[in-house]
């Protein structure tokens, strides 16, 4: 287990080395298969390259319109809980789920909420069961696990997921056929309409790559749906919780937002990029409440660290949560202090001291998507509401099921500005 920049730099001298995931991720292969989160080698390189256009500036501009729309719906839900001490995470989760469905699948979540929610819950039940297997000596055995009733239930969940995505994919492919001569315009990038979803981009690739298996579509969609909204929910909920305890930070952020935005209903990416203090606040939230608490990599070759040899094939656990909260790396590490990320304070800091979205060429492909969504929602919330804390004695009961969460929620008291 590694949790210090000094050793991370010694082991990962080159960002293109040691990018293979460990056997830990094999438990997710039935659902994530050749998705970019777990596959390696040439397949990973090709998939990453093919999906990159979905996260470039022109696409993020279109996604930001979705962020604004779902953000305004979130504010309407907040209006119903003013003056009450509530856990904000379920409200944010609902908003980010809707955003994920529209930006990835092109679906209006509210047109078929029960079916969409069932699909989402099935994915997370499947992932939760995979995590249970990892920490069970008996269930880790494929042979023993296949003899258990739980295995049959897991296979049923997998089939439900496949049926749902297959129906969406088939419908989308028919739509693409009908507009086959119409989907490239002067304003297009990479031969894809600017208003494409991630599914559109995957299907465009599927049309031109005869060797691409049909299962890949489901695997990639599952990858982004599982990683998407829970990450944003975790980060944004924890930031709101911290802001409720730090009125000075909250007001400084409000002043910046008020001085930049012209239309609170349409916060542009230009507005977002101009918010320097917002950047500091979000990064400090990512540091103190890293959504992915750890990642694992496998060594490509023997590595020497302080005179000891770590052999090729060794699984390296990078404990991001501990790294970001280490007093050896950050002074007063448990204090929420956005000024840590001011231009003056980050100058000279080791890049490996802050890795919420992993690092190197295998970092999270959707990190810009996540950052813009978090900032857009946070700007809308702070512009319209103040947050007060619960008792100063209240303590979060943090845990991780793949994403950092709190057993007792992220409670705040909202009031209108």
End-to-end CA distance of the chain: 46
CATH number for 5-416 (one of 3.40.50.300, 3.30.1360.200, 1.10.630.10, 1.20.140.10): it is 1.10.630.10
What would the pLDDT profile of 33-46 be if each residue is shown by its tens digit? 777 888 888 888 88
- Please say if the pLDDT value at position 188 is more than 70: no
At residue 162, the pLDDT reads 85
Question: What is the mean pLDDT of the segment spanning 212-225?
Answer: 76
- Please say if the pLDDT value at position 189 is more than 80: no
Q: How far apart, in whole angstroms, are the C-alpha atoms of residue 309 and residue 191?
A: 49
Residue 136 in tokens:
């069970």
Q: Which residues lie below 8 Å from residue 281, measured CB to CB, with a gap of 6+?
A: 239, 243, 249, 253, 338, 378
Domain boundaries, the chain: 5-416
Q: How confident is the model at residue 225 (pLDDT cuts 50, 70, 90)?
A: confident
- Helical ranges in 146-263 per DSSP H: 149-178, 198-208, 215-245, 247-260
Percent of the chain surpassing pLDDT 90: 49
* Average pLDDT over the chain, rounded to an integer: 87
- Please say if the pLDDT value at position 135 is more than 90: no
What would the pLDDT profile of 367-410 be if each residue is shown by its tens digit? 999 999 999 999 999 999 999 987 777 899 999 988 899 999 99
- Please say if the pLDDT value at position 267 is more than 90: yes
Q: What angle do CA 200, 206, 207 make, to 5 degrees?
A: 95
Enclosing H/E stretch for 271: helix 269-274
Q: How confident is the model at residue 230 (pLDDT cuts 50, 70, 90)?
A: confident
67: Cα within 13 Å, side-chain hemisphere? 27
Short-list 177, 129, 130, CA closest to 29: 130
Q: How confident is the model at residue 213 (pLDDT cuts 50, 70, 90)?
A: low
Q: How confident is the model at residue 193 (pLDDT cuts 50, 70, 90)?
A: very low
Residue 258 in tokens:
């008020």
Q: How far apart, in whole angstroms, are the C-alpha atoms of residue 343 and residue 280?
A: 9
Q: What global pTM score does this model have?
A: 0.90
């Amino acid at each position: 287990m590694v949790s210090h920049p000094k050793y991370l730099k010694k082991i990962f001298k080159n960002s293109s080395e040691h990018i293979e995931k460990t056997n830990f991720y094999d438990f997710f292969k039935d659902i994530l298969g050749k998705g970019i989160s777990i596959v390696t080698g040439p397949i990973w390189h090709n998939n990453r390259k093919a999906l990159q256009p979905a996260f470039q500036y022109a696409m993020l501009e279109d996604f930001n319109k979705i962020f604004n729309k779902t953000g305004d719906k979130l504010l309407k839900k907040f209006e119903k809980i003013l003056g009450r001490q509530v856990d904000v995470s379920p409200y944010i989760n609902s908003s980010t789920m809707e955003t994920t469905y529209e930006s990835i699948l092109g679906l209006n979540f509210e047109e078929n909420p029960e079916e969409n929610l069932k699909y989402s819950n099935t994915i997370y039940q499947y992932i939760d069961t995979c995590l249970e297997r990892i920490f069970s000596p008996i269930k880790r055995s494929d042979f023993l696990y296949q003899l258990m009733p739980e295995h049959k239930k897991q296979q049923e969940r997998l089939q439900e997921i496949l049926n749902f995505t297959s129906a969406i994919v088939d419908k989308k492919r028919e739509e693409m056929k009908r507009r086959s001569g119409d989907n490239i315009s002067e304003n297009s990038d990479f031969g894809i309409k600017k208003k494409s979803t991630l599914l559109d981009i995957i299907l465009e690739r599927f049309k031109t790559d005869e060797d691409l298996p049909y299962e890949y579509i489901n695997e990639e969609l599952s990858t982004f749906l599982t990683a998407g909204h829970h990450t944003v929910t975790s980060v944004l909920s924890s930031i709101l919780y911290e802001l409720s305890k730090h009125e000075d930070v909250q007001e400084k952020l409000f002043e910046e937002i008020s001085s930049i935005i012209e239309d609170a209903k349409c916060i542009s990416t230009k507005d977002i990029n101009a918010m320097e203090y917002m950047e500091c606040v979000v990064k400090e939230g990512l540091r103190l409440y890293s959504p992915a608490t750890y990642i694992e990599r496998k060594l490509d070759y023997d590595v020497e660290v302080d005179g000891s040899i770590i052999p090729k094939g060794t699984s390296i656990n990078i404990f991001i949560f501990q790294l970001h909260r280490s007093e050896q790396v950050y002074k007063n590490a448990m204090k929420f202090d956005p000024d840590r990320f001011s231009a003056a304070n980050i100058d000279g800091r080791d890049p490996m001291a802050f890795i919420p979205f992993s690092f190197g060429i295998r970092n999270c492909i959707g990190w810009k998507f996540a950052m813009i969504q978090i900032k857009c929602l946070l700007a809308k919330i702070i512009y319209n509401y103040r947050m007060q804390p619960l008792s100063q004695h209240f303590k979060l009961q943090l845990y991780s099921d793949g994403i950092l969460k709190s057993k007792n929620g992220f409670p705040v008291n909202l009031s209108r500005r």
